[in-house]
Chains A and B, each alone.
Chain A
Amino acid sequence: MTTATYLPSAPTDPWRAHPTRIVSTVDETPGVRTYELAFEEAGIRAGYTFAAGQFNMLYLPGIGEAAISVSSDPDHCGTIAHTVRAVGNVTDALARLAVGEQVLVRGPFGTPWPLDAVEGRDVVIVAGGLGLASQRAAIHRLSRRDDGGRTIVLHGAKRPEGLLYAADYDRWRAAGIDVRTVVDEGDAFWIGRVGLATHLLADLHLDPAATTILCCGPDPMMVGVAEAATNRGVSTEHVFLSLERNMACAVAHCGLCQFGPHFVCRDGPVLRYDRIAGLMKVPQL
């Protein structure tokens, strides 16, 4: 049986949703907006904590729920941020809300990035497109590290305007993070790399025994990154992927998110590559 360590310590009704208000929004890339939310109930606001890589279910009554990573700083939970692409019923409706309107939240859920296990190690964050949203909370944490390990962010997007959180890169670099970007297709103003996130990884000087890979993006991109990293000697036990699957409950009851033996909502979204490498290569699993 899977060991789940990020479960609530006290029994709570997993269907209870807590009201928040939208405090501010930031338009990030085309179709993608960050919502900063504040819990309305004082007790929840004071007690809410999450770990980098966990997600919330954002709920709009009458419309539905969407599973969205928390992308704000886990050490500052007064408000929480979610970066969302408008691609469906729920996220489209969210995009029509204004500052001050209500969003209900269940969470946090899921297994986070293994930041407790990277002491002194080089951490390579590889993000495809909106995948970076699930890693920004980890970047916040790692920007304050003083354990000697390097932090490298490799971010790929289809086009330059798709590079997420571009306004933050200078701040991340000032904190000692090596930030590198690549696009599939440049434009007239693009003077950076053209290619894939795996190309950035290939350029990187790696100490395989002391490197942890945290990757989030489309499934084929993640398999490419994981295989490239393990081919260069990084152990599969130090490669972590954040998966996305259909979900209704977020508490391993509804069964929709199953990926082989894993409930992506509870055992993931962050899963260690050695546990899923074989499954990732089976079509339509």
Chain B
Amino acid sequence: MTAPLPGSWHWLDPAGLQLVIDALRRRGHRVVGPQVADGAIVLRELASVAELPTGWLDEQDGGSYRLRHDPAAGTFDHVVGPHSLKNFLFPARETIASFTRTDGAWTQPHAPAPDPPLAVLGVRGCDLAALATQDRVFLGSGYVDEAYKARRERLFLVAVNCRRAAATCFCHSMGCGPAAGPSFDLALTEFGNRFACEVGSDCGAAVLADAIAAGALVTACSEAEIDAARGVPRDLAARMHARQGVADGPAPRSLDTHGIRDLLMRNLEHPRWDEVASRCLSCTNCTLVCPTCFCSSVQEVADLSGDNVDRERQWASCFSLDHARMHGQSVRSSTASRYRQWLTHKFASWIDQFDTSGCTGCGRCITWCPVGIDVTEEIAAIRATDGAASPDPGRETP
């Protein structure tokens, strides 16, 4: 058996995948992967392939998420749950600086040593795209977030090519899936009881070599087998574009993104914002499950003496009144203005800021919205009535 190289494909069975996990743990990685917990498939620390959600499917729709056991389902036939890479690379709470006061003078000790490196198993194309998007925010905006950078540089990604889509998926519309990319260390395509494993990086090759050295039975894929593996996400994409379901499942969503930036920016006073606001609870769920939402606020956390202060960064949401609070008032006091901020940022102004959409089509915001508000439906409604003006005479048209 020759050593695996980037770009090569190998057959891996579940025992071999276990040896990949073991190799990552031996290298000091904290390995995280999908597991069934609390009625959902979430990302948790993973020691064994037996913990993976083999035989579980997630049925998702607007405001609805249900797990269903299906003996015919594979290990990765679920799609995405409420967690994404964001939960690990940009944690919901994090101390970003600490200060200590001695004799009336404050000092700022240097940042503590970084956490152990992280490996995430089962990452889909939409979430890899979201990672690339968050990279632009925290690494490419002119300032570098050192904590994010430290975690990002040592991140090991075992991606998965989707062979099933949920009714909430629309990655094909956003150009973010279902194939795994743009970059990963290893990528798995499931066939029966084994995985075609594509090596995506030197690091991926080294970990696979470790697994082989530890006894993993790995054979090279033939050209025909590689073609078949590449065909899996390609066929799913074709069905998604044709809006066909998979194995009698419901058809996925889709979104017409043609001219979407200008469409939304010229409809800032469209009556649909008030209409959606009559349903929106401003609960922030969509921003919390979104794999690209990056807003945060900073809290001062002091001990009882007041001499030791941590600055704690927490996820913030444009749906909260505090987000745009100035001089005791919120700039965006209405739910309509906050929903508009979220949707127009995600699908329009994000393009000005980062040269890419903020949406990857993962569908989480649709699933986890308690009232089932669907971004694809909202944008389609605005497109269908492009140029409609708010009936509120107190408003000016931009």
Chain A interface residues (CB < 8 Å from chain B): 1-2, 4, 7-8, 11, 13-17, 19, 61-65, 87-88, 101-102, 104, 244-246, 248-249, 251-256, 258, 260-261, 263, 266, 278-279, 281-285
Contacts and interface: CB of A to CB of B under 8 A. Distances in A.
A253 B326 contact: no
25 contacts: A13-B146, A14-B145, A15-B311, A16-B108, A19-B105, A19-B106, A19-B107, A61-B300, A64-B298, A101-B104, A248-B313, A248-B316, A249-B298, A251-B143, A252-B142, A253-B138, A253-B143, A253-B145, A253-B294, A254-B296, A261-B348, A261-B353, A263-B141, A282-B396, A282-B398
A94 to B, nearest CB: 14
- Find the residue from A16, A87, A284 having the highest chain B CB count within 10 A: A284
A279 to B, nearest CB: 7
A283 B396 CA distance: 8
- Find the residue from A102, A260, A278 having the highest chain B CB count within 10 A: A260
B297 A256 contact: yes
Interface string B110-144: 01000000000000000000000000011001111
B257 interface: no
Contact of A283 (B295, B302, B318, B337): B337
B395 A255 contact: no
Contact of A4 (B137, B142, B349, B395): B142
A284 B337 contact: yes
Nearest to B322: A246
B269 interface: yes
B312 to A, nearest CB: 11
B315 to A, nearest CB: 10
Interface in B259-304: 265, 268-269, 294-298, 300, 302
Given A4-B142, A64-B298, A87-B328, 6 more contacts: A61-B99, A102-B104, A252-B143, A263-B353, A282-B398, A285-B340
B296 A251 contact: no
Nearest to B268: A282
A278 B353 contact: no
A266 B296 contact: no
A163 to B, nearest CB: 21
B318 A255 contact: yes
Nearest to B138: A253
Given A16-B108, A17-B108, A253-B143, A284 B333 contact: yes
A119 to B, nearest CB: 27
A254 B398 contact: no
Interface string B303-333: 0001001010100101000011111100111
B153 to A, nearest CB: 14
A251 B141 contact: yes
B352 A248 contact: no
Contacts of B396: 281-283
Contacts of B269: 282
Given A255-B296, A261-B352, A87 B398 contact: no
A1 B355 contact: yes
Interface string B144-167: 111000000000000000000000
B27 interface: no
B353 A244 contact: no
B334 interface: yes
A2 B352 contact: yes
Contact of A285 (B97, B268, B327, B328): B268
Given A2-B353, A17-B108, A62 B324 contact: no
Contacts of B298: 64-65, 248-249, 254
Given A4-B142, A102-B105, A253 B327 contact: no
Interface string B191-216: 00000000000000000000000000
A263 B143 CA distance: 13
- Find the residue from B298, B318, B394 having the highest chain A CB count within 10 A: B298
A16 B97 contact: yes
A11 B328 CA distance: 34
Contacts of B66: none
Contact of A17 (B97, B296, B349, B353): B97
Given A254-B295, A279-B398, A14 B300 contact: no
Given A4-B142, A255-B318, A87 B137 contact: no
B296 A253 contact: yes
B345 interface: yes
A255 B352 CA distance: 14
B306 A62 contact: yes
B105 A281 contact: no
A244 B326 contact: yes
A64 B300 contact: yes
Contact of B398 (A245, A281, A284): A281
B96 interface: yes
A28 B229 CA distance: 72
A87 B325 CA distance: 13
Which 8 pairs of residues, A with B, have the shortest CB-CB distance? Answer: A261-B352, A255-B295, A284-B337, A251-B143, A261-B349, A7-B142, A61-B309, A278-B398
A252 B268 contact: no
A256 B99 CA distance: 24
Contacts of A15: 96-97, 311
A252 B141 contact: yes
Nearest to B318: A255
